[in-house]
């Protein structure tokens, strides 16, 4: 198993190299001059040229690229010009915020979409099947930013039920002592339920926004996969053997239907990492997405390149995790295959 995992990681190296090259070239092709941005609007051309020289942007592209790659081998993603902090440090400090948002939304989406998809397949044509179709249609039709703004407008501005959508924690509270970087877990470790509850309330609207976004593909794939499995011969044989309906659905039906659902979950997790950029900006969430957007606006190359590379690594690890889950769900599947 360990040997196979190592081979998979080595096979992913060409993809990561391609990510590094393409990201470097695209950031240089973006409109905007970081030297002019940091020199200021009133700077003279001589001052802008001086800043460009200090940043090394006056050097040929091949020289800049090899300097960047040499720094990568040392684990150095560069320095953010907007914050003055190392990009690696910024990414590590902001990653838990994004992961907490994405993971909680994924858990909530699975808790709703999996039972909904199973019931829609079992009771095909019923009201719950129509509800499943309505949910999936709404999920793919509503833009994420619109859903987030609508929820904030209704539940914060109109009703006043939700806290202000400005970050992970109300300014009245101090963050819990950092252990994992996930506020909900760190607050439980510190046994500070007031901070836990304040953090949980801040997460409700962004988590629901992301949940609505990913409900559709999970519920749709669960329904389609269950319909295919329920029409199989071994399901009819299990029912004819006198097994209970619950046993047939869970042990024989759902377990065999999970493989395409797991594949969908892997794809959805990747989509969520991308869509978190929009959700984080709407709700002022200090995660990787808002960090990358701010850097992109300022034409700050290093954070953008670091963000894309981090997403590439996460996708590689995610695909490997999906392969491992295949083996757990269905022992007939081998990771070598």
**Cβ atoms of 166 and 284 closer than 8 Å:** yes
In a domain, 173, yes or no: yes
First vs last Cα of the chain: how many Å apart?
12
In-domain check, residue 254: yes
State the pLDDT at residue 1.
61
The reported pLDDT for the residue numbered 331 is 60
Quick one: pLDDT at residue 229? 81
Looking at residue 132, its pLDDT comes to: 80
Does 194 fall in a domain? Answer: yes
- Contact indicator for 249, 120 with CB cutoff of 8 Å: no
- How much is the pLDDT for 333? 56
Residue 132 placed within a domain: yes
Predicted local distance difference test score (pLDDT) of residue 287: 84
pLDDT in tens, 231-254: 777 778 877 877 777 777 777 777
The pLDDT score that the predictor gives to residue 49 is 78
pLDDT (tens digit, 9 = 90+) per residue, 92-120?
888 888 888 888 988 898 888 888 888 88
* 200 domain-assigned: yes
For the question of whether the overall pTM of this predicted structure is more than 0.85, the answer is no
Structurally, the chain folds into a number of domains equal to 1
CA-based torsion, 302, 304, 305, 311: positive or negative: positive
Provide the CATH number for the domain around residue 179: 1.10.3720
Vertex 272: Cα angle to 19 and 209 (nearest 5): 150
What is the pLDDT, as a whole number, of residue 324? 74
**Residues lower than pLDDT 70 in the chain:** 1, 4-5, 30-33, 36-43, 55, 326-337
Dihedral angle over CA of 99, 101, 102, 105, nearest 10: 150
Domain that holds residue 116: 88-269
199 belongs to a structural domain: yes
């Amino acid at each position: 198993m360990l040997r196979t995992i190592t081979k998979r990681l080595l096979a992913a190296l060409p993809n990561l190299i391609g990510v590094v090259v393409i990201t470097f070239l695209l950031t240089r092709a973006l409109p905007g001059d970081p030297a002019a941005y940091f020199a200021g609007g009133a700077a003279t051309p001589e001052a802008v040229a001086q800043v460009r020289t200090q940043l090394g942007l006056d050097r040929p592209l091949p020289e800049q690229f090899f300097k960047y790659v040499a720094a990568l081998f040392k684990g150095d993603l560069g320095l953010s010009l907007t914050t003055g902090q190392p990009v690696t440090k910024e990414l590590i400090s902001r990653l838990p915020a994004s992961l907490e948002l994405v993971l909680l939304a994924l858990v909530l989406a699975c808790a709703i979409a999996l039972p909904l998809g199973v019931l829609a397949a079992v009771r095909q044509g019923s009201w719950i099947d129509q509800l499943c179709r309505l949910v999936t249609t709404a999920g793919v039709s509503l833009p994420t930013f619109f859903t987030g703004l609508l929820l904030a407008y209704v539940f914060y501005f109109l009703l006043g039920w939700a806290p202000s959508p400005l970050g992970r924690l109300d300014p009245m509270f101090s963050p819990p002592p950092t252990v994992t970087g996930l506020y909900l877990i760190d607050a439980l470790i510190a046994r500070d339920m007031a901070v836990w509850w304040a953090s949980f309330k801040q997460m409700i609207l962004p988590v629901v926004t992301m949940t609505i976004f990913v409900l559709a593909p999970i519920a749709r794939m669960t329904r389609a996969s269950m319909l295919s499995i329920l029409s199989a011969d071994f399901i009819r044989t299990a029912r004819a053997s006198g097994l209970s309906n619950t046993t047939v659905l869970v042990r024989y039906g759902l377990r065999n239907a999970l493989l395409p659902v797991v594949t969908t979950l892997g794809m959805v997790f990747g989509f969520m990492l991308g869509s978190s950029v929009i959700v984080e900006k709407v709700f002022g969430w200090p995660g990787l997405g808002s960090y990358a957007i701010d850097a992109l606006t300022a034409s700050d190359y290093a954070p953008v390149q670091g963000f894309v590379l981090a997403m590439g690594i996460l996708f590689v690890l995610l695909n490997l995790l999906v392969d491992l889950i295949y083996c757990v769900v269905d022992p007939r599947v081998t990771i070598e295959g």
